[in-house]
Chains A and B, each alone.
Chain A
Amino acid sequence: MNMSKVVFGFFVLLAVTLNFGFFIGDIDNPQHHDVYELFAALVVSLIATVLKFGERSQMGAILLASSLVVNLHLLAAAVVWAVAVHVMEVGLTPRVMASIVSLSGGALLANLVSLVLLTLDTAGLSRK
């Protein structure tokens, strides 16, 4: 068992689960989407990105790319949240909430790609 592989897999999986947890629920209902979960998803995804740095393989490159996409989406969601609540002071209207959740939905898709790639990679490894 390789410890670095455990850590790597842990962060990639955690990024997906947290992202999914935030995403699930009515799209425009602020009660269903917790800000802490969004923050956790963002931080875990950032760490997962850093862990993918310096991979030379083609698989590593795609993993890094998908991770960057996740970061972009989640950062956008966080910025929308901060702007709506603190800068524009409109509060979490259904319109704002829908936009935040849909952004996190995009992130979820990219995260799933990461997960599938990781699974494929592992499957390929076990065959050898």
Chain B
Amino acid sequence: MSRHAHKSLVFLFLRRMRMPLVILISAYAIATVGFTLIPGVDDQGNPWRMSFFQAFYVVSYTGSTIGFGEVPYPFSEGQRLWTMVSIYLTVIAWLFSIGSIVSLLQDPAYTRALRRARLAWKVRNLNQPFYLVCGYGDTGRMLTSALTDRGYQVIVVEHNQEKVEALEVVEFLAPVTAFCMNANLPDNLIEAGLRSRWCTGVIAVTGEGHVNLKIAISATLLNHKVAVYASADTRNDADNMRSFNTDCVVNPVEEYVRRLELAIDKPDLFRLYHWLNSGPGARLARSTPIPRGKWIVCGYGRVGRAVYQLLRERGMDVTVIHPDPEQAGCPHGSVIGRGTQAEELSAAGVEDAVGIVASTSDDADNLSILITARALNPDLFHVVLENGLSSHALFRAAEPDFLGQPSIVVAGTILSRISSGLVEPFIQQLLQLNNDTGRDALARFLRHQNDHPPEFSSGRISNRRSPALARALSAGQRITVGNLLADPSNWRARLHLEVVMIRKQKEDILFPPDDLPLEMGDRLLLAGRDGEAQRLQAVLENDQRLEYLLTGRDRQQGLFWQWLERRSSSHRSNG
């Protein structure tokens, strides 16, 4: 398709150039023939006529406005007359053809096609793994910068010209190619490299749910090797996507409510979960338990409704404030209004409430609700929904107790899943833990990390992935999880790395103890400081380093040094 588009561009150019070229050739032909026909006089005064060669020579330098003068002999008046005709003829023909080329090059349709062809060419020549990010809103922007930070190339498909232009001036650590086109059309996705063998993952995070659904379907059908991550607006869409094995589906509302639920039921586990699933810029949340009592929910949209149900399930007394309670199907006893006025909040009983949820779809309203409610009741617990990141500074300044940012929720959840296929089962099992185990797990991570969330990576014990370790294991050596985590440059110290899950053939072991022996075929999920996993990988591939890790001794390389080592150790045992 893309090659086709590129070819049609050449054809378009040639076809548009037909008329100018025909005119140019005709003008030259007429001028040349004219010169051969007009009689002249040579230097001896004999009648003389130009040959075609001489005529074409004269026309060539006249037509290009170089003008050498009258060669080979001074022209007769008749020849001069014809020279004038041929000058106007050829110069006008040139102007016409150059004009058509310029107008073609400035034609917006043509330049757009040219640009797309160039980008498509670039995509075809990619030879490194890349991610295809569809939609460059807040979520797409976070994902793009996080993926490029990890060294992946990214191709962005966004139909909004302004967003594409904004992207082009941002510096990324890896090349980012931006297509300005509609991700809804499968042909466009193919042009953006969906079928390329380097396409590692497709991330559908456009603002519209049905577009994301369509992208997920296209990606699954057109390239079955690619991993698909998508954000879904409704439960319906999400279930639909999961039904055809989309690798990761995030429904921001569901995810937001899940986090709030965790925060109510298992506050420490919530802190861990939120930290691991909010992108590389995440901070560890403060541990503030969510109070029980009377709550106010402002806005009864998708988020408001889900939060209302959650709070009711937890046995709390909830009052809803909505501009049109009947229309939105609010529960009985709801207050009419947006929640930004003190009267509305008082009517909902803000004075004796313990918490307020500002979940309208307008960020300014949400902030206003927060500030007004705080003035009326300073002890309120604030849960605020931040719809777009454009007013993030204001939200930070307002310091709500619990902030929901759909774009960060989506991007963070997708990012943690991208690191490894083991993250999803790990998170699922993590959520089953009780709060105390969650607190211990968090403490384990905090041994290595300061505020900054750990980076996930995974490894497999196999001949191909970890040859040195596989050789040692098949030689019958006992190697434990603790052995692996020793620092390769100082074996008494420990890497800033944690094995958080081992997938054995039959079972998954969450947070394996240090003395658990490793077996062939184990898959390890690691989490730790950035770059620490690479140091471990080097050990798994190199026999000497692995031996140092296990014994604390450097094995010498080369026969001479090994002989010397044997000699000194036998001396030591003798002496």
Contact = CB atoms under 8 A, between A and B. Distances in A.
A35 B22 contact: no
A5 interface: no
19 contacts: A35-B52, A43-B26, A43-B29, A46-B25, A47-B22, A47-B25, A47-B26, A50-B17, A50-B21, A51-B22, A53-B15, A54-B11, A54-B12, A54-B13, A54-B14, A54-B15, A54-B16, A85-B53, A86-B54
B194 to A, nearest CB: 26
B32 interface: yes
Residue in B12, B29, B32 with the greatest tally of chain A CB atoms within 10 Å: B29
Contacts, number: 47
B158 to A, nearest CB: 31
Contact of A39 (B11, B17, B32): B32
Interface string A71-107: 0000000100110011000000000000000000000
A56 interface: yes
Interface of B: 8, 11-18, 21-22, 25-26, 29, 32-33, 36, 51-54
Given A85-B51, A85-B53, A53 B25 contact: no
A50 B25 contact: yes
Given A36-B33, A47-B22, A53 B53 contact: no
Interface in A24-41: 35-36, 39
A39 B51 CA distance: 11
A81 B25 CA distance: 20
Contact of B17 (A36, A53, A85): A53
Nearest to A78: B52
Given A82-B52, A85-B53, A56 B26 contact: no
Interface residues of A, number: 17
A51 B51 CA distance: 29
Q: Which of B22, B33, B36 has the most CB of A within 10 A?
A: B22
A84 to B, nearest CB: 10
Shortest Cβ-Cβ A-B pairs, 8 listed: A54-B15, A53-B14, A43-B29, A54-B14, A82-B53, A50-B21, A54-B11, A86-B53
A54 B53 contact: no
B29 A53 contact: no
A11 to B, nearest CB: 9
Which of B25, B32, B54 has the most C-beta atoms of chain A within 10 angstroms of its own C-beta? B25
Contacts of A43: 25-26, 29
A55 B12 CA distance: 10
Contacts of A47: 22, 25-26
Interface of A: 35-36, 39, 43, 46-47, 50-51, 53-56, 78, 81-82, 85-86
Contacts of B32: 39
Contacts of B54: 86
Specify which of B12, B13, B51, B54 lies most central, judged by the most chain A CB atoms within 10 Å of its CB.
B51
Contact of A86 (B16, B22, B51): B51
Contact of B29 (A39, A50, A54): A39
A91 B52 CA distance: 14
A86 to B, nearest CB: 5
Contacts of A51: 18, 22
Nearest to B21: A50
Contacts of A46: 25
A5 B26 CA distance: 19
A80 to B, nearest CB: 12
Nearest to B19: A50
Given A39-B32, A39-B52, A82-B52, A54 B25 contact: no
Given A35-B52, A50-B17, A51-B18, 5 more contacts: A39-B33, A53-B17, A53-B18, A81-B52, A85-B53
B53 to A, nearest CB: 4
A39 B31 CA distance: 12
B49 to A, nearest CB: 11
B89 to A, nearest CB: 14
A54 B13 CA distance: 8
A84 B252 CA distance: 83
B17 to A, nearest CB: 7
Contacts of B52: 35, 39, 78, 81-82
Contacts of A55: 11
A54 B18 contact: yes
Contacts of B15: 53-54
A39 B52 CA distance: 8
Nearest to B24: A50
Nearest to B56: A82
Nearest to A42: B29
B58 to A, nearest CB: 13
Nearest to A35: B52
Nearest to A51: B18
B53 A50 contact: no
Contacts of B14: 53-54
A50 B53 CA distance: 23
Contacts of B12: 54
A56 B53 contact: no
Contacts of B13: 54
A56 to B, nearest CB: 6
Nearest to B29: A43
Nearest to A44: B29
B139 to A, nearest CB: 42
Contacts of A82: 52-53
